[in-house]
Structure 1
Amino acid sequence: MSSFFTVPGKRKRPSAPEAPKKRIAASKSSAKTSAKSAKPSAKQAAPSKKRVERDDESISGSDSEDEESYNGASDASNDEGDSDSDNGVETAAEKRLRLAERYLDNVKEHVDEIGFDAAEIDRDLIAERLQEDVAETKGKVYRQLAAELAFDKASQTFFRSNTNSVTSIAACAPYVYTTTKDLFLHKWRIQDLPQHQYPQTTKRKPKKPPAPPKKRPELELWIKGNASKKEDKDYKRHVKNILAVAASSDGKYVVTGGQDKKIIVHDAETLKPIKVFTHHRDAVTGLAFRRGTNQLYSCSKDRTVKVWSLDELAYIETLFGHQDEVIDIDALAQERCVSAGARDRTARLWKVAEETQLVFRGGAVDKKPQPGVNPRSLLHEGSMDRIAMIDDELFVTGSDNGSLALWSVSKKKPVYIQPLAHGLDPPLEPEAASAEVNPDRKVVPAPTPRWITALKTIPYSDVIISGSWDGHVRIWQLSEDKKKIDLVATLGGSSEDQHDDASGDGGDKPHYRSVEGVINDIAVFERGDRGEEGVCIVAAVAKDHRLGRWSVNKGKGVRNGGVVFEIPKIPRASTNGVHDSSEGEEE
């Protein structure tokens, strides 16, 4: 074990440091007459003695000869040393030791809650926690979550209210916030996991079977704007479509932005408007909080990114550079953010503290032939619509040609491009493509790819989540070398899967239903400490796109609302000699 975590014994106060030896000898020869000179010499020896003590505990005391010449000085310094310890003076080494002990106590308390004895904690677990904290402060991927999640056992729950298209969603566990085109801001409470909903308060075995767990989120609060208040400058709510929402990590603020150029800060508990910012000159399209702080980034169709401080409820600065509408933004722990510039086809990394920016130009296409795909369907990137940060060095973007691109801050071109991430739309019938009586099939245009309409990541992990209108939420995994992304799971079934479930006995297999409509946004949060109980994904579903009236799937089954996916974690093997009782019963 490192000496950082060892508890040292009591430090012995050195009786006579070596440094002031000559000074006292000189003073002895020059001033033999009076005993008054002992007091100033003691005052001079005390600070030098304190400096030596702070340097290293391995410094030993002086020789016996020096002790004889130091009798008077040591007596005076002992008095001052005692007064220093009474005043609470703490050395740098003692401070490091105190902070380390506090951190280890917190880790042990956490492990005690899980059910392990603190005396049996494996040192490897503590080292792992330390490594994770260091990796997060450095802004690097340190969690391989995709292999630990049981996607095949995910549950699916739909919720809605009688509103128009849901445009955006934000999460601050256990709450999610949704916004709509008809000026609603909703606050939903996501249900606890089944094992936490009905805790047993007595030791007696209950006679009745437990009630079925609640799955549908509960609507707690809502507020609505008023489109007729456009001329009222003092009105503190939205008067046009709400396009973006963000929630602070401390659960204190909820911020919305809309087509009315307003950014409105709400109290998260009551949804009461606190402050209205009107600095943007066009519609506000994206909002993102800096992780762990109340610093806010906003993007707008006025081609700017603005920085705000909600602790002071104040505007900080504006970032210029994009040549077209900025329609998405994301941020992590460091004082930087990334934004997507739509049809200027650039992603920009803004280093706010250094007042610099890095430009990453898109527009490329993967020219490799895809089996069974018409080459005319592999379109060039026309608009970069979505962006999400993986860590401080990697981010992903989604475009209108259906491709996902992986970027690194050290390269100007994409590290990897995944074409047709959500497939192609069905081809048109010849009669729909031409007005002729007997149209030729050559006039039928090639099937077009589905846009990437939603994109999210679990920060500092290898999990990437994307959405479109193909009826699925797709989960992608970042490779270990950070140079590729692979599809690992699809959430939400198709109509064929639903038919199979209805015809068969089903068993314990979860019921899946196709997510009909456009997935306009995705929010995600982890269950338990560091995701020990799984991950909750909430998708905002609507009949049309958040930025327009482009409608898809106009048939039955398309509803405005949200879908909750609860993904459990694969149970781990036994640790520290403690065996999982549930696994033993199954065996």
Structure 2
Amino acid sequence: MKKARSRKSPLPEGARRSSKSSRSEDPFFVPDRKRRRKIDDDFIDSDDEEDEIGGTSHAEGEREGEEEEAAETADEKRLRVANAYLEKIRAITRRAAEEEEEEEEEEDGEREEKRDSLVAKILQQEQLEDSGRVRRLLASRVQEPKVFDEFHVVAKHRQSVTAVALADDDSKGFSASKDGTILHWDVVSGKGEKYSWPNKDILNLHGAKDPKNPSKKLSKHVLALAVSSDGRYLATGGLDRHVHLWDTRTREHIRAFPGHRGPVSCLTFRQGSSLLISGSFDRTIMLWDAEDRAFLQPLFGHQSEVLTIDCLRKERLLTVGRDRTMRLWKVPEESQLVFRAPTASLECCRFINNEEFLTGSDDGSIELWSVMRKKPTCIVKNAHAASAPQNQSDAKDNGSISNGDELENGHEISESHCSSAKSWVSSVTVCRGTDLAASGAGNGVVRLWAVENDANNIRWLYDLPLAGFVNSLVFARSGRFIVAGVGQEPRLGRWGRISSARNGVAVHSLALSEEGV
């Protein structure tokens, strides 16, 4: 496997570097100010605080809450968030214990001991799932969709949707389209709210820079968006070459980050932190701190446009570009692993866990990769052809599924590439911490897959009909529904068009059987 050192360049204005000594102390350290004080406050929502009794207005209550939070030290905030999370877990276990409580009454001490043991098991299981060492077997629980089950539109756009994202609690969703529209909508009710772009003066005040060529007008065409783990920040990027930061509570524009010399094509937040990563057509990747509104550092290596980026809780980035490579960036070590596509250019990528990845290609195939091998461990050719393989034996007979050994031995698995533009795999997604994956193209279906770890295999499950180019996909953390961003045109061009498709965001619920059934 090829290792390449990422070279450095002068930083833009306002950039700050950290010393190597501080980087070596903490493997999860991001070079900037003392960001180790940052903690995950997913379970604290300042908007839910009630006004004080006695006539205090809502605005005054918010100001007082902000003052108290500002006066709070990092250690106090860490303790408050940990206690709130622990109390939430205890409430869950308390309800479970009450439901399963036997008719005979137990002593209070024994009952409390049982609850504490259950809390410890839940916390340990969540920690193992977050680290990627344990995978929930969710694919086997997905039931076959019924005939009348279909995607229903929850948000409409005038032009093709380019990106969708979900908050960690699966209650709110975000979407963006080619006309620059950004929507914030409720998953259940579908009620949406629009983000309003500020005028040019405000954008310049927030850090945006005008193009050097006065005759060139930059479009607000949005290509990518991402939401932080705590749900406070929304980041967008597009043809104007800026990364824009929004406050999801007020839907107001906070900051514009200049620095990219090409369209911003992909964005993601590191899980559990305010680290924001952007990729661009200028072949660079840049790291930003959303909390401090600061630029951190650039990453170089791709020889063509960066198309997709993904990040989990570890400080590792996964990117694919038009140079037919996928790169795993190890930010603290300032190094990268290079994986080369066997045939066509890779279009999209997702982490399955810290050691495995899933990609989609413009020849219609999807690939399963491992950090231990430089070539895919499994390839599904023609993944979005007219008919999907029914089982593993049929797939191998038809030459549609292969593994890395066959490729290394020089055997062609399928000599024909997908000639139709509609079979181009434009998006893949994975339900975090599970073996359930999905892929989208323009052939009228979203396909569900099971990633079988023991066999290093990708097995087709079901098709979910959906007309249009599926430009973005995301699973709910619970795995009970999938969200698709659909358009009449592809995300990064206009080389195809499906007039019958509807531009918008569609949701499809997934029926899951009980565990152990």
**Range class of TM-score, shorter chain:** 0.5 to 0.7
In the alignment, structure 1 residue 358 sits paired with structure 2 residue 337: yes
Determine which of 383, 386, 399 is the counterpart of 2:361: 399
Correspondence for 2:93 = 111
Correspondence for 2:283 = 303
**DSSP 3-state at the match of 1:461:** coil
- Hey, what's the Cα distance between the residues in 1 that align with 2:516 and 2:474? 30
Correspondence for 1:204 = none
Determine which of 489, 497, 513 is the counterpart of 1:544: 489
- Hey, what's the Cα distance between the residues in 2 that align with 1:156 and 1:560? 13
Identical residues among aligned pairs (%):
35
**DSSP 3-state at the match of 2:480:** strand
Determine which of 178, 182, 185 is the counterpart of 1:185: 182
Superposition deviation, residue 101 in structure 1: 12
In the alignment, structure 1 residue 143 sits paired with structure 2 residue 123: no
Superposition deviation, residue 321 in structure 1: 0.5
Q: For residues 126 and 326 of structure 1, do their structure 2 counterparts lie closer, same or farther at Cα, with a shift above 3 Å needed? A: same
Q: For residues 127 and 480 of structure 1, do their structure 2 counterparts lie closer, same or farther at Cα, with a shift above 3 Å needed? A: farther
Any unmatched runs of 5+ in structure 2? 1-81, 102-110, 209-217, 388-416
Q: For residues 159 and 124 of structure 1, do their structure 2 counterparts lie closer, same or farther at Cα, with a shift above 3 Å needed? A: same
Q: For residues 518 and 335 of structure 1, do their structure 2 counterparts lie closer, same or farther at Cα, with a shift above 3 Å needed? A: same
- Hey, what's the Cα distance between the residues in 2 that align with 1:394 and 1:339? 13
Determine which of 269, 273, 278 is the counterpart of 1:289: 269
Q: For residues 235 and 333 of structure 1, do their structure 2 counterparts lie closer, same or farther at Cα, with a shift above 3 Å needed? A: closer
Amino acid at match of 1:487: W
Superposition deviation, residue 446 in structure 1: 8.2
**DSSP 3-state at the match of 2:145:** helix
Check the 8 A contact 1:424/1:447 in 2, yes or no: no
Superposition deviation, residue 525 in structure 1: 1.7
Q: Aligned residues, how many?
A: 383
In the alignment, structure 1 residue 167 sits paired with structure 2 residue 162: yes
Correspondence for 1:158 = 153
Correspondence for 2:473 = 522
Check the 8 A contact 1:275/1:313 in 2, yes or no: yes
Superposition deviation, residue 125 in structure 1: 6.1
Any unmatched runs of 5+ in structure 1? 1-99, 192-213, 365-379, 426-444, 493-514, 575-587
Check the 8 A contact 2:265/2:308 in 1, yes or no: yes
1:289-368 equivalence runs, <5 A: 289-342=269-322, 344-362=323-341, 364=342
Give the CA RMSD over aligned residues.
3.1
Superposition deviation, residue 468 in structure 1: 0.4
Amino acid at match of 2:227: A
CA deviation digits over 1:296-354, x for unaligned, max 9? 11100011111111111111100100111101000000011100012x11100001111
**DSSP 3-state at the match of 2:125:** helix
In the alignment, structure 1 residue 415 sits paired with structure 2 residue 410: no
- Hey, what's the Cα distance between the residues in 2 that align with 1:104 and 1:247? 24
Superposition deviation, residue 470 in structure 1: 1.4
Correspondence for 1:564 = 507
CA deviation digits over 1:87-129, x for unaligned, max 9? xxxxxxxxxxxxx999987644312234535739699966753
- Hey, what's the Cα distance between the residues in 1 that align with 2:510 and 2:130? 27
Report which of the two has the higher share of strand: 2
Correspondence for 1:479 = 452
Determine which of 433, 438, 454 is the counterpart of 1:460: 433
**DSSP 3-state at the match of 1:487:** strand
Check the 8 A contact 1:187/1:219 in 2, yes or no: yes
Check the 8 A contact 1:252/1:268 in 2, yes or no: yes
Amino acid at match of 1:561: G
Amino acid at match of 1:560: N
Correspondence for 1:92 = none
TM-score normalised per structure 2? 0.68
Q: For residues 155 and 255 of structure 1, do their structure 2 counterparts lie closer, same or farther at Cα, with a shift above 3 Å needed? A: same
**DSSP 3-state at the match of 1:186:** strand
Q: For residues 252 and 491 of structure 1, do their structure 2 counterparts lie closer, same or farther at Cα, with a shift above 3 Å needed? A: same
1:68-79 equivalence runs, <5 A: none
Q: For residues 174 and 303 of structure 1, do their structure 2 counterparts lie closer, same or farther at Cα, with a shift above 3 Å needed? A: same
**DSSP 3-state at the match of 2:373:** coil
Superposition deviation, residue 221 in structure 1: 3.1
Check the 8 A contact 2:309/2:320 in 1, yes or no: yes
TM-score normalised per structure 1? 0.60
Amino acid at match of 2:180: L
Amino acid at match of 2:99: F
Superposition deviation, residue 398 in structure 1: 0.6
**DSSP 3-state at the match of 1:330:** strand
CA deviation digits over 1:197-219, x for unaligned, max 9? xxxxxxxxxxxxxxxxx6xx111
Check the 8 A contact 1:349/1:357 in 2, yes or no: yes
Q: For residues 338 and 447 of structure 1, do their structure 2 counterparts lie closer, same or farther at Cα, with a shift above 3 Å needed? A: closer
Q: For residues 169 and 122 of structure 1, do their structure 2 counterparts lie closer, same or farther at Cα, with a shift above 3 Å needed? A: same
Q: For residues 572 and 399 of structure 1, do their structure 2 counterparts lie closer, same or farther at Cα, with a shift above 3 Å needed? A: closer
Check the 8 A contact 1:469/1:552 in 2, yes or no: no
- Hey, what's the Cα distance between the residues in 2 that align with 1:157 and 1:310? 34
Superposition deviation, residue 270 in structure 1: 2.0
Q: For residues 446 and 275 of structure 1, do their structure 2 counterparts lie closer, same or farther at Cα, with a shift above 3 Å needed? A: closer
- Hey, what's the Cα distance between the residues in 2 that align with 1:353 and 1:310? 19
Superposition deviation, residue 464 in structure 1: 1.1
Amino acid at match of 1:522: L
Check the 8 A contact 1:257/1:286 in 2, yes or no: yes
- Hey, what's the Cα distance between the residues in 2 that align with 1:307 and 1:253? 15
Superposition deviation, residue 461 in structure 1: 1.1
- Hey, what's the Cα distance between the residues in 1 that align with 2:90 and 2:100? 9
Superposition deviation, residue 553 in structure 1: 2.5
Q: Quick check: 108-117 or 277-286, which moved more?
A: 108-117
- Hey, what's the Cα distance between the residues in 2 that align with 1:125 and 1:146? 26
Determine which of 122, 125, 128 is the counterpart of 1:129: 122
Q: Quick check: 330-339 or 289-298, which moved more?
A: 289-298
Q: For residues 390 and 108 of structure 1, do their structure 2 counterparts lie closer, same or farther at Cα, with a shift above 3 Å needed? A: same
